[in-house]
Amino acid sequence: MSGRRVVITGVGVVAPGGIGRKAFWDLLSSGRTATRPISLFDAGGFRSRIAAECDFDPLLEGLSFPEARRMDRAAQMAVVAARESVADSGLSPDGLPPERVTVSVGSAVGCTMALEQEYVVLSDGGRRWLVDHTYGVPHLYGYMVPSTIATEVAWTVGAEGPVALISTGCTSGLDAVAHAVEVIREGGADVALAGATDAPISPITVACFDAIKATSANNDEPGTASRPFDLHRDGFVLGEGAAMFVLEEYEHARRRGAEVYAEVAGFANRSNAFHMTGLKPDGREMSAAIDAALRQAGRAPGDVDHINAHGSGTRQNDRHETAAFKRSLGRHAYEVPISSIKSMVGHSLGAIGSIEIAACALALRHQVVPPTANLHHADPECDLDYTPRVAREARLRTVLSVGSGFGGFQSAMVLTGGPS
């Protein structure tokens, strides 16, 4: 089955700033930001009180009442994004052999929002270690095992091929799409629903990032708090959302005349085996992932027209990946427009890798590089072209997207496309 190529033919997005891929692209191309004071719970008493939230109501987005009730917010967002991607692809689920459809969903923290909410009920606000089972909702086990998110996505189209949830922390969104691409390439399916979701804006997750001061505490300026590559950055702004894709084997897409966003041409992941949260400044392992992804795509470093950076806005990360880009692309690193959309939609942990793939697919379609918002005074050690504040038209054929996460995981994906 070697030689099978995989293309993106449908995109669905639930992101801060608006539901759906059109609202998402409007936000990115205008350089607006969707970061704001946390409204999902009372964040008084927390160090970081800002986030990039989605104005998301599952019932308004077409979920039935029972569906909304049994699913955690992360699953709801994944299902809504999945339905949009299927509609966008023009595929009719009825015409697909179920066993030839695979599903791969990434998520870093799964259904932790519902797990925490239910815990508060069962433990009487943390007062009972021996929690009271008589108040347990029937969906509780489904929250404990996040594979149920993949189950819900599979049910949206009745997929009966391989189904999995991929949970590699903040690289989950890249790794989950890559996993589906592998399954299609090796012949295990012709169509995939792949992407990622996370809904981490809940007290426990906000508190755990408070504890390690990873998030921005710039509570007075929520709209401009996410400042990747800027000298005045002080951590990432937590986000939420989902992006799902219809992936198809190339011939399958071509035969039905599908409109293609991009080909997933290359992927690789490496690990730094160094520290669960720390990064060495040399960017060595991320660079190794980039090199391998370009090799798989059959592209040279000089072919890269745009990089979607991980650009979380932590002091360490932005220098780490700047070093990685220089290491892999050499002089060309200084010429490539780079952007961090986390400046606008925050860092939605496992989801963001897929949300950024959606940004890359839309960038290829519109031939526009989204900007890095809030970048006014670049860190002298971050001396590349990060497309500050304003989107830019550019000739895009080969786009690189990278992710870096807890555990030391580094992932890189190469997407190709644009007008032929």
Partner 1 sequence: MITGLGVMAPTGRTVAAHWSAVLAGRSALTTISQFDASGYPVRVAGTVPGFEPRSHVPGRVVPQTDRWTHLGLAAAAQALDDAALDPATVPEYEMGVTTASSSGGTEFGQREIEALWRDGPSHVGAYQSIAWFYAATTGQISIRHGLRGPCGVLVTEQAGGLDAIGQARRLIRSGLRAVVTGGTDASLCPYGVVAQLSSGRLSTATDPSRAYAPFDAYAAGHVPGEGGGMLIVEEAQAAAERGAAHRYGAVAGYAATFDPPPGSTRPPALGRAIRGALADAGLAPDQVGAVFADAAAVPELDRQEAEAIAEIFGPYGVPVTAPKTMTGRLYAGGASLDLVTALMALREGVVPPTSGVRCPVDELRLDLVRDSPRQVALEHVLVVGRGYGGFNAAVVLSR
- Site residues for partner 1, 43-102, by CB under 8 A, read 45-47, 98-99
Using CB under 8 A, which residues numbered 391 to 410 contact partner 1?
A: 405-409
* 3-class DSSP state of 114: helix
Q: Does 8 engage in binding with partner 1 (CB under 8 A)?
A: no
- CA-wise closest residue to 306 among 403, 419, 400: 400
Q: Which of residues 65, 133, 331, 420 is near partner 1 by CB under 8 A?
A: 133
Instruction: Tell me whether residue 310 is one of the annotated catalytic residues.
Output: yes
**Contacts with partner 1 in 240-269 (CB under 8 A)?**
268-269
Q: Give a three-class secondary structure readout of 60-110.
A: CCCCCHHHHHHCCHHHHHHHHHHHHHHHHHCCCHHHCCHHHEEEEEECCCC
Catalytic one of 252, 306, 320, 347: 347
Our finding on whether 313 is near partner 1 (CB under 8 A) is no
What's the CA gap between 364 and 376, in Å, rounded? 26
- Please say if 275 is a catalytic residue: no
Distances in Å between the alpha carbon of 176 and those of 105, 172, 194? 6, 6, 7
How many Cβ atoms are within 10 Å of 59's Cβ, its own excluded?
11
Query: Least distance to partner 1 from the beta carbon of 159, Å?
Result: 6
Q: Any contact of residue 282 with partner 1 (CB under 8 A)?
A: no
Q: Does 276 bind partner 1 (CB under 8 A)?
A: yes
The reply on whether position 39 binds partner 1 by CB under 8 A is no
Segment contacting partner 1 by CB under 8 A, of 19-27, 175-183, 226-234, 363-371: 175-183
Q: Is 318 in the site for partner 1 (CB under 8 A)?
A: no
Contacts of 57 (CB under 8 A, 6+ apart): none
**Candidate residues 16, 17, 169, 418; the one interacting with partner 1 per rule CB under 8 A:** 169
**Shortest gap between Cβ of 254 and partner 1 (angstroms)?**
26
Residue 217 interacts with partner 1 (CB under 8 A): yes or no: no
CB 236 within 8 A of CB 312: yes
User: Quick one: which segment of 21-29, 133-141, 246-254, 298-306 binds partner 1 (CB under 8 A)?
Assistant: 133-141
Taking the complex as a whole, the smallest distance from the CB of residue 213 to partner 1 amounts, in Å, to: 9
Residue 372 in contact with residue 252, Cβ under 8 Å?
Answer: no
The yes-or-no answer on residue 170 being catalytic is yes
Q: Which of 170, 306, 320, 360 is catalytic?
A: 170
**Can residue 273 be called a binding residue for partner 1 (CB under 8 A)?**
yes
Of residues 179, 252, 306, 310, which has the active-site annotation?
Answer: 310
Closest CA to 382 of 344, 339, 353: 339
> Interface with partner 1 by CB under 8 A: which range of 174-182, 228-236, 373-381, 388-396?
174-182
Distance of closest approach, residue 178 Cβ to partner 1, in angstroms: 10
**Contact at 8 Å (CB) between 142 and 114?**
no
CB of 116 to partner 1, least distance (A): 6
CB of 2 to partner 1, least distance (A): 11
Stretch that binds partner 1, among 23-31, 149-157, 227-235, 385-393 (CB under 8 A): 149-157
Tokens of 13: 């997005």
Judged by CB under 8 A, the residue of 203, 222, 266, 403 near partner 1 is 203
Q: Mark out the alpha helices in 123-168 (DSSP H runs).
A: 140-144, 147-157
> Rounded to whole angstroms, what are the CA distances from 126 to 45, 117, 122, 154, 203?
17, 11, 8, 35, 13
Q: What minimum distance in Å lies between the beta carbon of 61 and partner 1?
A: 20
Task: Point out which residues pair with 358 in neighbouring strands.
Answer: none
Nearest CA-CA partner of 104 in 264, 326, 296, 257: 264
Cite the active site residues: 170, 310, 347
